[in-house]
Structure 1
Amino acid sequence: MRCRAARRLRKRLGRRGAFLAILGVGKTCWGVSFLVDPPEDHGLQLLTQFCGLRHWSWLWIVCGLATLGCAFVRIGRDWAGYLAAFIPPTVWAIAYTHAAISGYYSRGIFVALWYLTSHVGVIWWASTVPEYSVPPPPRTPRRGKAA
C-alpha cells in the first residue's frame, strides 16, 4: 500500500515537481532555522539595516512553501515555483556582494558566488529542463521459442 502511494506521488510530481518539492522543503527548513536561532549577521548588514534576521527568515519560509506548493501544479505552470525558489538566494547573494564591496565582510564575495552558482544557477538550469527529456530505456528483446 505504501509503495503504491509513493509511486502515485512520484508520478504526480514528475522530475520537475520532485526538484521543486526538495527545494521547497529545504528553503522552508533554512528559514525556520533563522527564525528559531538566528545566527550572527556577518555579511548581511544590507538586510539587517531594515529588519532583523528573524524577519528575513519569513522570506525563506514563504518562498519555500510557495516552491513546495508549485511542485504539485501542472508542468508549464510551475514557473512560479522556480521564481519563488530563485528569490531568497538572490537576495542573500546581493547582500553578501554588497558586504564584500563595502568592506564589511571580506569573505562575502565567495559566499555570494556560492549562492549564485549552487543555488541560483542550479535553479535556473533546472527550470529549463523539460519533464521528459530523457528517452525511455530500451526494451530488452523477448526470448522466443526455438523452432
Structure 2
Amino acid sequence: MRRRAASWFSGHLGRRGPFLVFMGIGKVCFGASFIFEPPAITQGLGMLTRWAPIHCWAWVWIVCGAATFSSAWLKFGRDGWGFVSASIPPAFWAFTYGWAGILGDYPRGLWLFSWYITSHCGVIWCASRVPPDAGTPRTLGQAAEGRPG
C-alpha cells in the first residue's frame, strides 16, 4: 500500500511538486496556529495588525498555503503560481518586520527580515528555478545550457 501511494505521488507530482506539497502544508499549519493559538501582538506584528486583525493574516497564510499545495499537481510551467503564492505571506512578514526595524519600533525586525527573505522567500525562489529534468541521468552533472550532451 505504501509503495502504491509513493508511486502515485512520484508519478503525478513531477520534480517541483513535493516541494510545493510540503510548503503548502507548512503554510496552512502556520496560518492555523494564529487562529487556534493567537500570539500576543508584538511590535513587529503590530504593524500588520494596523491593516487587518491577526486572524485575517492567518487566513492569508492558509489560502496561500492551499494554493501552493494545489499547484503541486500542475504541469511544469503552470506550477509557477504555487511559488508565487508561497512567497506572498513570508514577503509580507519580512517587509513588515524590516520596516519596523528601520523605524526603530522593533530593532529585532531587521534580523527577522533577513531570516524571512533568505530562509523562506530565497528558498522558494531557488526552488522555482529548478528545471523539469534536473537530476535526471541525462542531465546529471551538466549545465542546463551550452554543454554538449
Alignment of 1:17-96 (within 5 A): 17-42=17-42, 43-96=44-97
Percent sequence identity is: 48
- Larger Rg, first or second structure (1 or 2): 1
The residue type paired with residue 100 of structure 1 is G
* C-alpha distance after superposition, 1:75-102 (max 9, x if no partner): 1100110000010000000110111011
SS in 2 for 1:15: coil
Q: Deviations over 1:109-143 (max 9, x none)?
A: 00110000000001111101112211329xxxxxx
Query: Once the 2 structures are TM-superposed, how far is the Cα of residue 14 of structure 1 from its aligned partner?
Result: 2.1
Query: Which residue in the other structure is 1:130 paired with?
Result: 131
What RMSD over aligned residues (CA atoms) do the two structures have, in Å? Answer: 1.3
Return 109-118 or 50-59, whichever deviates more. 50-59
User: How many residues in Structure 1 have an aligned counterpart in Structure 2?
Assistant: 137
**Contact kept? 1:35, 1:55, Cα under 8 Å:** no
Name structure 2 gaps, 5 residues minimum: 139-149
* Letter matched to residue 56 of structure 1: W
- Which residue matches 2:11? 11
Q: TM-score, normalised by structure 2?
A: 0.87
Change beyond 3 A, Cα 1:101–1:113: same
- Please state whether the residue corresponding to 1:129 is helix, strand or coil: coil
SS of match in other structure, 2:88: helix
Query: C-alpha offsets along residues 54-76 of structure 1, whole Å, 9 cap, x if unaligned?
Result: 11100000000000000011111
Moved more, 51-60 or 112-121: 51-60
Partner residue of 2:103?
102
Unaligned runs of 5+ in 1: 138-147
